[in-house]
Structure 1
Amino acid sequence: MERRNLLRVAVGAPAATLVTTAGAAPAQATSGRFDQDSPRFAIAVLPDTQYLFDADSSDPDPLRETFSYLLGRRAEDNIAFLTHLGDVTEHGTEHEITLAGKTFTKIDGKLPYSVLAGNHDIDGSKDDQRGDSAYLREFGPRRHSGSRTFLGASKDGYNSAHLIPAAGRNWLILALDWRISDGGLEWARGVLAKHPGAPAIVTTHDLAYADDAGQAFLSGHGQRLWDNLIKDNDQIFLTLNGHYWPPGRTTLRNTRGNDVHVHITNYQDRYYGGAGMIRLYRFDLARNRIDVETFAPWFLARDAAKRTPLEAETVELTGDVDRFSLEFDFDARFPLPKPGPRPAAQVVDRHTAAYWRFDEPGQSVADGATVRDLSGKGNHLTVRRLANSTPETLTLSGEHHVGAPAHASLRFDGGKNPDRGAILRTADDAPLNSAKFLGGYTIEAFIKLPEPFVGDHAWMGILSWEGRAGDAGKHSGWSDLEPTCSLNISGERFLQYVLYSEVGDHNPTSWSHALPTGVWQHLAVVNDGRRSTVYVNGSKIARNPARSARGIATLGRPFVIGATSFDLKYGQGFYGWIGDVRITARALPPAQFLPGGF
């Protein structure tokens, strides 16, 4: 089930799908830890709260509950930031603004946020040069000066900028006044220029309105922002505004021909003035999607069986403008600088048993050529082509995984009928040949399968130790003639790790999902001295056996990259690319894998 369906069950109304438990207690206001390295994070959007701060009819309880929800869910939903879209209050009086300010203290220092002035918060007849106001004194730059995401504000104090580190990037939020001046626009362009690689979101109070079908159109002020700020700044991919209802959305094309998503978020016309309703924009860079959902935490916290009809109707909105997904290729629109090669010294330590890469100056892959073991342990490899092979069966390639230390790989063209391939094999006296790894180990390799994946390559080997299982006294497996340890790919492109452990006569075998073609994969086998766990791209696969697996039943025979032996003989070789291979004599966490962490 997708993460966006986290709010499941029990609304009492068939159209809603919110997830909570009947009678659940309100979320506790404890700020969880935000993971800025995760490829998934959320930005919360809070539109017009003006009817909750309206003279003597003010009721901040819904907003307090919204803040409790965001703090209580911050770690689980990985909420990076909250942005308010203006019209915090109804009249902008000292009383209303002060009450709103006290309500916001619930998240001060616990969740970074931005606030901007709507026409109800200030003198709406003037632009951001209006001077002092109760709003500016309460929500101006001084309030945000202690926030790590706060970049600064325009001289007048009514426009602010915030930089959010999330998913390995910096994301820029511009919180612009209801009526930004020409000077304010110049300031905003300057902020964008200082952060040219940061994807940017423009938030303001008035930018677009929608018809009853949810189709959005630029307002007069929105057209001015489009012409003078948005269309010529390709960093801006999303705009968010309130002010108007009903909500709506549209997609416009900027001068570079790229999409700008224009969204209106406002629920003040709904029951209880919107009841502090929020939108969560869930960014998923692993899937190149933004999933959006809209709900009211105040109603969500109540016993579903006791919600009134209007509460049940408003707890979650599921129309096309309130709950939707956007496909967005962030790497294509905002490419990050590619990391350069890393020297071997950065990925080798005293626990490294062997490390091979293929970018050494003058590296050859001719038969008899040597690939040095850069761990310093002497496990050098010698190149050998199998029968029916040609020079093209093994070639050097500049292809590499983006996270690989070496920006090079080997291209293998192994196959069946006739059998062909190439292997890289340690010398007969290499220390690795007899290593048992009783205290644990980590084996890592980068591979890429060709697209299209042509021919029958079932059970081709990536790497293995030579040696018949039967000779090691192991008779529990498929055949006594298979090797004691091998990493292979099945006919369905499932990764298979077969191990005959040093202790006991059993062969716990791990199986992955079907590996995709045409993309680099990082593979890791981690053994902690008790059992083995296989990872693909830092994610633990499902089919890891619970059976004990201590050590590797090596027989003193060579270690090989590029194929798996059977009865000490080689037929077909690997088909595809193999990059850096590292063996470590201890269990590594994913954060210490070769790509530099997952």
Structure 2
Amino acid sequence: MNLRRRHLLGTALAAPLTAPLSPATPASAATRFDPNAVRFTLAVLPDTQYLFDADSADPEPLRATFRWLTEHRGSANIAFLTHLGDITEHGTADELARADATFRRIDGRLPYSVLAGNHDVRSSSDDQRGDSAYLRTFGPHRFAAVPTYGGASPDGYNSFHVITAGGRQWLILALDWRASDKGLAWVQGVLDRHRRLPAILTTHELAAADQAGVARLSAYGQRLWDALIRRNDQIFLTLNGHYWPPGRTVLRNDAGHDVHVHVTNYQDRYYGGAAMIRLYHVDLARNVIDVETFAPYLDSRADRLAVENRELTSDVDRFSLAIDYAARFAAFAPSSAPPPRPAPAVMPRGTVAYWRFDDAGFDDTRARDLTGGGNDLTLTRLPFGAPAARTDDHHRDQPAHASLRFDNGTILRAGPAAPLNRATFQHGYTIELFLKLPDPFVGDHAWMGIFSWEGRSADAGRTNGDPAEPTCSLNLSPERFLQYVVYPTGTDDAPTSWSHTVPVGQWIHVAVVNDAHHTIVYVDGSPIVRNPSRSSRGITTLGKPFVLGGTQYAEHYDRAFYGWLGDVRIVSRPLRPQDFLSKP
């Protein structure tokens, strides 16, 4: 058995592939920001002061940066832009007028925040300074109609935005170069009113870095840390400019959690930094933030200094942060799993069988077919391994909050009269399930079965394949690849799909979808690459039992499933990914 299936694995590498069954995404959708995508980008723009320096100003680099951000807002899924202060060199009305004209290029196209640096206002003053050319240009009136804008302190120099990205809300704080006690009290009030939102604090000065890129709080930064940051667990990331070189560090707040402190400033580099931007790619699926730094303006130039400075790749300019978002935010924004969904709510038209392992569907000896279609499954012990046991462990998005833990010794088997034993699915089908492999994954479990129909393909008259294997089965290879092999009706063929390596210790959702022409296997809603393009209609069955947790070979079980199985559903038509069980 193993040699034959290893041969199939090798030949699958050369098999032609077919496109996913779902319709292609319209091109226009790729140009829009998606607030629900699990990966989004925060753009950070530090000190641009040398681009707005009296009569030596050149705003073109900033225009190029703004063009890049607006043109790539959809492809990079850019949620927001934050400027870290020192927009101008002297804070004069003329300099700010030029900056105003440049920023108007993104007004209404990309939400952003700004804050005053020491070059934008009198450096000896704090946020109680009163009127200024900066405030008249970038004060609260400018942002009043911006959907993300939440408000400003009474003095107008501190503000906040609430953005929606990654399917949740985030708080962006933009603090003046010198926040007064009144200013800090206002910021604390904002945090208190948004207690469940993770917060990113931006300001002009907070930390400075040495030549090795190790950041330390400045004297003023220590004041912010003691009075505000360390006390508010929501703040997990701070961003400041002012000092160069760039750098970073991690501090521990009063709750014992990490706060990432980053210094970003490139004004000392060629062309005053050329409006260099830093992109923070927040990836909620991978639990990381990927950071990159580059200057769009320099991409169009071929001179030596432009080429040398167009992209920065040092450890403080291009890096990844590992953040377990659920754990980091749990103290102030605990994630709540979706509630269980009743069986009738997840049995769409064409559902022929649905099993789950909560009290509604399982009684320790039998998994009831909740469609009432007569496809109950009975626990059957094999002469090896250990018995199966019901558990509360489950996939977060699974309708039932329960599962069955298999230990290589039990299968669930349909009765001899079950309609599913003879079903051939001529109009297509969708077979879905949730599974988790143990960590560590110990022992020899090569080719263990997940589901199958009993019997031999040879008994169905099939000769182009392994005559001893069943006519349809989902298995796990020695490399932990999912293998779905099916003998369709009306053809002597066995199209076989192969997945990537299945992770251990992690729940996944698997869907096998056939549209009466081709079969696509999905893992966690994504189509796998090795789906054969050969025609595949229906499933050849022999009237023998459908089985969960095992696959016969030569009508003999030599091993069974090892791990957890959650809800299993079979529908007699192809479903779209948005209609899978994993979509609440």
TM-score calculated relative to the size of structure 1: 0.88
What's the CA shift string for 1:239-278, capped at 9, x where partnerless? 1111112222222221222221211111112222111111
Aligned counterpart, 2:129:
130
Q: Select which of 498, 514, 517 maps to 1:511.
A: 498
The residue number in structure 2 matching 1:9 is none
CA distance in 2, matches of 1:50, 1:176: 18
Give the structure 2 partner of residue 374 of structure 1: 370
CA distance in 1, matches of 2:67, 2:372: 55
1:538 aligned residue (522, 525, 528): 525
Residue 199 (structure 1) shift:
2.1
Q: Call closer, same or farther: CA 1:555–1:138 in 2, change over 3 Å.
A: farther
Instruction: Tell me if 1:409 matches 2:396.
Output: no
Please, which moves more after superposition, 372-381 or 572-581?
372-381
| Equivalent in the alignment of 1:314 | 309
Displacement of 1:224 after TM fit? Answer: 1.0
Is contact 2:477–2:483 with CA below 8 Å preserved after alignment?
A: yes
Flag the 1:45–1:528 CA change in 2: closer, same or farther, 3 A.
same
What is the Cα deviation at residue 376 of structure 1?
Answer: 4.3
Letter aligned with residue 411 of structure 1? R
Give the structure 2 partner of residue 456 of structure 1.
444
Aligned partner of 1:463: which letter?
F
Tell me which residue corresponds to 1:427. Answer: 415
Alpha-carbon distance between aligned partners in 2 of 1:137 and 1:593, rounded to the nearest angstrom: 53
> What is aligned with 2:328?
333
User: For residues 447-497 of structure 1, what are the alpha-carbon distances to aligned partners after superposition, in whole Å with 9 as ceiling and x for unaligned?
Assistant: 111222232222111111223322323221112x32111111122322110
Give 1:207 shift: 0.9
Q: Secondary structure of the equivalent of 2:454?
A: strand
SS in structure 1 of the partner of residue 249 of structure 2: strand
How far, CA to CA, are the matches of 1:447 and 1:62 in structure 2?
Answer: 51
Q: How does 1:126-525 map to 2 (within 5 A)?
A: 126-302=125-301, 307-335=302-330, 336-361=335-360, 363-366=362-365, 369=366, 371-388=367-384, 393-414=387-408, 421-479=409-467, 481-525=468-512
| Gap runs ≥5 in structure 1 | 1-29, 415-420
Could you tell me which runs of 5 or more consecutive residues in structure 2 were left unpaired when the two chains were aligned: 1-28
Distance 1:455 1:525 in 2: 27
SS of match in other structure, 1:483? coil
Equivalent in the alignment of 1:8: none
Give the aligned residue type for 1:562: G
Compare 497-506 and 96-105 and name the one that shifted more: 96-105
Checking the alignment, whether the CA contact within 8 Å between 1:503 and 1:549 is kept in structure 2 is no
Residues 146 and 595 (structure 1), Cα distance of their counterparts in 2 relative to 1, 3 Å cut: farther
1:593 matched to 2:580? The reply is: yes
Deviation at 1:569, TM superposition (A): 4.2
The residue type equivalent to 2:272 in the other structure is G
Deviation at 1:393, TM superposition (A): 0.7
Aligned residues: 552
Cα contact 1:31–1:110 (8 A) shared by 2: no
CA offset digits 1:58-93 (Å, max 9, x no partner): 221111110111122222222221110011112222
Inter-CA distance 587–140: structure 2 relative to 1 (3 Å threshold) = farther
Q: Secondary structure of 1:74's partner? A: coil
Mapped partners of 1:142, 1:586: distance in 2: 55
Q: Does the residue aligned with 2:74 lie in a helix, a strand or coil?
A: helix
Q: What are the Cα deviations for residues 12-65 of structure 1, in whole angstroms up to 9, with x where unaligned? A: xxxxxxxxxxxxxxxxxx992122333222211100111212223222111111
Is the CA contact (8 Å cut-off) linking 1:292 and 1:324 kept in structure 2?
Answer: yes
RMSD across aligned positions (CA): 2.1
Equivalent residue runs for 1:554-573 within 5 Å: 554-573=541-560
Does the aligned pair in 1 maintain the 2:361–2:368 contact within 8 Å? no
Distance 1:318 1:571, change over 3 A: closer
Q: Which residues of 2 match residues 542-553 of structure 1 at below 5 A?
A: 542-553=529-540
In the superposition, relative to structure 1, how do residues 143 and 586 fare at CA in structure 2: closer, same or farther (>3 Å)?
A: farther
Q: What amino acid is the match of 1:401? A: H
Cα distance change on mapping 1:66 and 1:440 into 2, 3 Å = same
Q: Give the Cα–Cα distance (whole angstroms) in 2 for the partners of residues 184 and 351 of structure 1.
A: 61
Contact 1:365 1:394 in 2 (8 A): no
Structure 1 pair 151/345, CA: closer, same or farther in 2 (3 Å)? farther
Moved more, 227-236 or 53-62: 53-62
The 10-residue stretch of structure 1 (40-49 or 72-81) with the greater mean CA deviation from structure 2: 72-81
Q: Using the TM superposition, give the Cα deviation of residue 210 of structure 1 relative to its aligned residue in structure 2, in angstroms.
A: 2.1
- 8 Å CA contact 2:148–2:161 kept in 1: the answer is yes
Deviations 1:325-360 (Å, cap 9, x if unpaired)? 222222221232222222223322113222111112
The match for 1:575 is 562
Runs of at least 4 residues of structure 1 off by over 4 A?
Answer: none
Mark the CA change 1:62 to 1:580 in structure 2 (over 3 Å): closer, same or farther.
same
- Cα offsets for 1:266-300 (capped at 9, x unmatched): 11122221111111112223332222221110011
CA distance, structure 1, for counterparts of residue 486 and residue 401 of structure 2: 30
Instruction: From the superposition, tell whether residues 362 and 539 of structure 1 become closer, same or farther in structure 2 (CA, over 3 Å).
Output: closer
**Aligned pair in 2 of structure 1 residues 241, 478: CA closer, same or farther (>3 Å)?**
same
CA contact (8 A) 1:32 1:71 kept: no
Amino acid at match of 2:121: I
SS at match of 1:224: helix
Alpha-carbon separation, structure 2, partners of 1:124 and 1:346: 62
SS of the aligned residue for 1:432 comes to helix
Give the 5 Å matches for 1:96-107.
96-107=95-106
Partner of 1:298: helix, strand, or coil? helix
Check the 8 A contact 1:31/1:72 in 2, yes or no: no
- 1:313 CA drift (Å): 1.9
Contact 2:30-2:75 within 8 A present in 1 as well: no
Say if 1:528 and 1:211 are closer, same or farther in 2 by CA, change over 3 A: same
Rounded Cα–Cα distance in structure 2 between residues aligned with 1:334 and 1:584 = 38
- Do the aligned partners of residues 338 and 474 (structure 1) sit closer, same or farther apart at CA in structure 2, a change above 3 Å counting? same
Structure 1 residues 571 and 215 mapped into 2: Cα distance closer, same or farther (>3 Å)?
Answer: closer
Give the counterpart letter for 2:432 in structure 1: E
In the TM superposition, what are the counterparts of 1:69-84 in structure 2 within 5 Å? Answer: 69-84=68-83
Identify which range, 166-175 or 202-211, moves more after superposition: 166-175
Instruction: Indicate the residue corresponding to 1:56 in structure 2.
Output: 55
Amino acid at match of 1:386: L
Contact 2:356 2:362 in 1 (8 A): no
User: Counterpart of 1:396 in structure 2: which amino acid?
Assistant: R
2:31 is paired with a residue whose SS is coil
Query: 1:31, 1:74 within 8 Å by CA — same for their partners in 2?
Result: no
Secondary structure of 1:100's counterpart equals: helix
**C-alpha distance after superposition, 1:496-529 (max 9, x if no partner):** 1010111311001111222222221211112222
Q: 1:18 — aligned with what?
A: none
- Alignment TM-score, normalising by the size of structure 2: 0.90
1-structure distance, mates of 2:570, 2:311? 51
